[in-house]
């Protein structure tokens, strides 16, 4: 198998790459890497010490790419069908925007504000910080929910009429929110709730979540 993904299953950015690989029907091997601290060999292939990193031995033993957005764009060129990036120029730009929106402040707010206090704390043997997580949900998350509720509307996909990298990026962040025990209120955000449920019911996401739940179970969570 020529493709190897380095990273942890619980990382939303690793999940984003894994879902992309599965949606494209590409086989790969996942190799767990603990970046706290990152081993020296990993820093050589990921100068920012972040996961994931993709290795493509079909290109060469040293052919590695860090960063989930770079990896997903590479996989689109490597296997164009099914396309996960729109062909039309403006739709393409919108897909990249939503990917960036999910990967940046949204990811940071969910990761540091809910996933870390509720899950990472417990993985480190600490008590979950429910107060902090609930404060973030009540004060910081509504602006993301409101924006996405409006942008999704009654559509099945946020850009165009088929799955794109934008949907994968957004849905993967809601995966970590769900693992932390939170979700948008279905009454207040019916479009977003329907959309996230639809995305998470795809076999690619279900496969990742099943593995992640088993991993958390092994830690007693």
Angle between helices 165-179 and 68-78 (to 10 degrees): 140
Last residue of a domain, one of 57, 78, 99: 78
Residue 4 pLDDT? 97
Alpha helix locations (H) across 124-219? 130-139, 142-152, 165-179, 190-200, 203-218
DSSP state of 84: -
User: Is residue 49 situated within a structural domain?
Assistant: yes
Q: Are residues 13 and 121 in the same domain?
A: no
Here the CATH number for the domain that contains residue 59 is 3.40.30.10
Q: Are residues 96 and 173 in the same domain?
A: yes
Residues in the chain: 221
More confident residue, 221 or 120: 120
Q: What predicted TM-score, i.e. pTM, was given to this entire model?
A: 0.96
Cβ contacts of residue 116 below 8 Å, gap of 6+? Answer: none
Is 210 strand, coil or helix?
helix
**Domain containing residue 19:** 3-78
Q: Are residues 163 and 107 in the same domain?
A: yes
**Is-contact 79 26, C-beta < 8 A?**
yes
Is 157 strand, coil or helix?
coil
Query: Please, what's the largest Cα pairwise distance for the chain?
Result: 51
Q: Are residues 134 and 57 in the same domain?
A: no
Instruction: Return the bridge partners of 201, or none.
Output: none
Q: Per residue in 162-200, pLDDT tens?
A: 999 999 999 999 999 999 999 999 999 999 999 999 999
Q: Are residues 129 and 65 in the same domain?
A: no
**How confident is the prediction for the chain on average, in pLDDT?**
95
User: Is residue 52 situated within a structural domain?
Assistant: yes
pLDDT band of 15, cuts 50, 70, 90: very high
Q: Per residue in 68-80, pLDDT tens?
A: 999 999 999 999 9
């Amino acid at each position: 198998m020529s493709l190897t993904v380095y990273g942890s299953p619980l990382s939303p950015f690793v999940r984003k790459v894994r879902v992309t690989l599965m949606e494209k029907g590409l086989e790969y091997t996942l190799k767990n890497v603990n970046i706290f601290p990152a081993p020296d060999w990993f820093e050589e292939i990921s100068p920012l010490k972040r996961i994931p990193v993709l290795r493509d031995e079909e290109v060469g033993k040293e052919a590695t790419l860090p960063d989930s957005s770079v990896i997903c764009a590479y996989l689109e060129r490597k296997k164009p069908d099914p396309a996960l990036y729109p062909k039309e120029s403006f739709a393409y730009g919108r897909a990249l925007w939503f990917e960036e929106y999910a990967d940046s402040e949204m990811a940071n707010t969910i990761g540091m504000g809910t996933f870390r206090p509720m899950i990472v704390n417990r993985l480190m043997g600490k008590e979950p910080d429910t107060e902090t997580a609930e404060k973030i949900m009540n004060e910081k998350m509504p602006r993301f929910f409101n924006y996405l509720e409006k942008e999704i509307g009654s559509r099945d996909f946020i850009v165009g009429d088929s799955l794109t990298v934008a949907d994968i990026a957004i849905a993967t962040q809601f995966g970590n929110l769900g693992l932390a025990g939170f979700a948008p209120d279905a009454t207040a955000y019916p479009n977003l709730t329907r959309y996230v449920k639809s995305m998470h019911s795809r076999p690619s996401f279900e496969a990742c979540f099943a593995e992640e739940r088993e991993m958390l179970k092994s830690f007693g969570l």
